[in-house]
Amino acid sequence: MKRNRGGLFGGTRRFLAITRVLAKFGVADLNARWFSRRTKGEATAPPSGSAAVLRVPSPGRLRAALEELGPSFIKLGQLMSTRADVFPPEYIEAFRKLQDSVPPFSYQQARELVENELKRPLDQVFADFDTEPLGAASVAQVHRARLHSGEAVAVKIVRPGIERTIQEDIRLMYYFAAKLEKLFDVARLLGAVNLVAEFERTIFRELDMYIEAGSIEKFQGCFRGSDEIHIPRVHWDHTTRSILVMEHVEGVKMDDVAGIRAYGIDPREIAMIGLRSFSRQLMEFGYFHADPHPANTIVMPDGRVGLVDFGITGYIDDEVMHQIAHLFLGYAEHDYDMVMEALENAGLVDARRVDLEAFRRDLKDISEPFYGRALKTIAVREVYDQVIGLVLKHNIRMPRNLLLLLKTFVQAEALGKILNSDANILEVTRPYAENLVQKGYDTHKILKNIGRETRSMGQYMRRVPQYLNDILRQAARGDYQLDFRHRGFENFDRKMERGINRLTVGAIISASTIAAALILNSSKRIFEFQFEFLGVGPHPLAVTDLLGIAGYSIATILGIWLILSIFRSGKL
């Protein structure tokens, strides 16, 4: 019971702290509505028109508020910086500048956590362990250390107690988000609750060092044998859910132009390595490092680029990879039909919801001015803002991974500009796009896809009897009602009757003709009598002769009528 009361009081204190910060940074009308008391019978809905009004603080003040609220809200702000399809550009820029740096926790805390996780004294694991961290962020901090083998390593340690703090903050975020959606139309349109849910899905992945270590291993496999990109090695025997031990990458940050030149390396070549690396991640692997800022991109003395900190990664499936390749090729060749087809096939634009002609026209208007220009002549912010403006104008909701990809693209281009690159990014990417498209027509790949689809169809076919059995059983219990409706059969009965009548007449004609022929050719004569016609005769005549003649006559008359009716219908 004490624990529950303590958790309740702790949650209350945190709740009050959040509301104080919100009030401090300018959301004055929020508290008034939050704590307003209504008398009995008073409407719970906000006054007419007021739900759409929320005096949000300026981007700078909102960023300061998030930083003051601590690690959880800093990470939430960083997530919001990837949602340019939701927030205005000035707020996206403010969220992007959030400082993910907080005072480091003490060496003693770091030592205790490492020893508890590894079940050994610190000096048995590391020969040396720096007491001062290389860097401290809201979720973890990194110490340089040396193994007994002599290898230099980086030790990433999750901040003690951060998971419990984040869990409590997420609970309060859901509460605040639900309140905001109830009070303000704009919060409901932005999807405040869904944003918190997305944050919850991503933040706990960053807290799990096993996931980050797995991402490093995956990138190692992708770049194995590369002489341009270096991925640090993970020491799995010293890695736990809260500790990641990996090779320490020596070098300078990618934006340290003077340091790069001191190594005797041309910064423009480093920019090309970065662009080629990103193109491979995008067009070959379908898996990309989604946070390539300078601190996570290290230029090594031998000219290689080391990627570190794999807490944020993104992925795209094979189909989207191919559509992105077609998108790049369409841009490179000024083929907007190819561009539009790629966007439609990727599911980004839907003809039922988007005016494709207007979208194509707007897309061309914003794209043409950038053709053929070197990277250093393009304002990355301008491109980004125009693309997002297009997305917002046509009410296109992009998947998070594609927004993350766009953000990564912007960061990669920004690094290229810092390094004074004169590369054209479309030309750098084009060979990788062409190779990917060519692979799509590879015989082995086609057969592999056919085999996969065949296996899927086989699995569906095996399940069909069970599905039918379930449907019939539930229908027998009265759980289902089948309601058949048909359209286009209004004249079906009349047309059917006419066709049957014609078939009947045809059968009568055939029967009459056959019967008449059989009768007239028969040797048996019934009721024969003498018949005189126009004074000529007498001639022998039998009843069977009359029946045969009558059959031929009926068949002839009906045949002529049937032919005429078919000609009149125009459907010979």
Give the amino acid at 197: A
The question of whether 291 is a catalytic residue gets the answer yes
Give the amino acid at 121: P
Burial 446-477 (b: 16+ CB within 10 A, else e): eeeeeeeeeeeeeeeeeeeeeeeeeeeeeeee
Cα–Cα distance, 93 to 40 (Å, whole number): 45
Mark out the alpha helices in 162-233 (DSSP H runs). Answer: 162-183, 185-190, 192-207, 209-222
Question: What DSSP character marks residue 284?
Answer: I
Provide the pairing of β-strand 529-533 with 152-158.
Answer: unpaired
Cα–Cα distance, 105 to 542 (Å, whole number): 127
Active-site residue identified among 291, 362, 385, 545? 291
| The two three-digit tokens of residue 287, written as one number | 């898996």
Question: What DSSP character marks residue 283?
Answer: I
In sequence order, the β-bridge partners of residue 357 are none
SS (H, E, C) 305-343: EEECCCCCEEECCHHHHHHHHHHHHHHHCCCHHHHHHHH
Q: What are phi and psi of 275, to 5 degrees?
A: -70, -40
Find the Cα–Cα–Cα–Cα dihedral 169, 172, 176, 181, rounded to 10°: 100
> Which value, in Å, is the radius of gyration of the alpha carbons in the chain?
40
Please enumerate, as own/partner, the contacts of 251-254 that have beta carbons within 8 Å and a separation of 24 or more.
Answer: 251/298, 251/299, 251/300, 251/301, 251/306, 252/298, 252/299, 253/294, 253/295, 253/297, 253/298, 253/299, 254/294, 254/297, 254/298, 254/299, 254/305, 254/415, 254/418, 254/419
Decide: helix, strand or coil at residue 199. helix
Cα–Cα distance, 388 to 380 (Å, whole number): 12
Q: Contact, 57 vs 27, CB < 8 A?
A: yes
In sequence order, the β-bridge partners of residue 531 are 539
Q: What is the helix, strand, coil percentage profile of the chain, to 5?
A: 60, 10, 30
CA distances from 7 to 2, 10, 165, 200 (A): 8, 5, 11, 20
Provide the pairing of β-strand 229-230 with 305-307.
Answer: parallel
Cα–Cα distance, 123 to 146 (Å, whole number): 10
Decide: helix, strand or coil at residue 253. strand
Decide: helix, strand or coil at residue 540. strand
Q: List active site positions.
A: 291
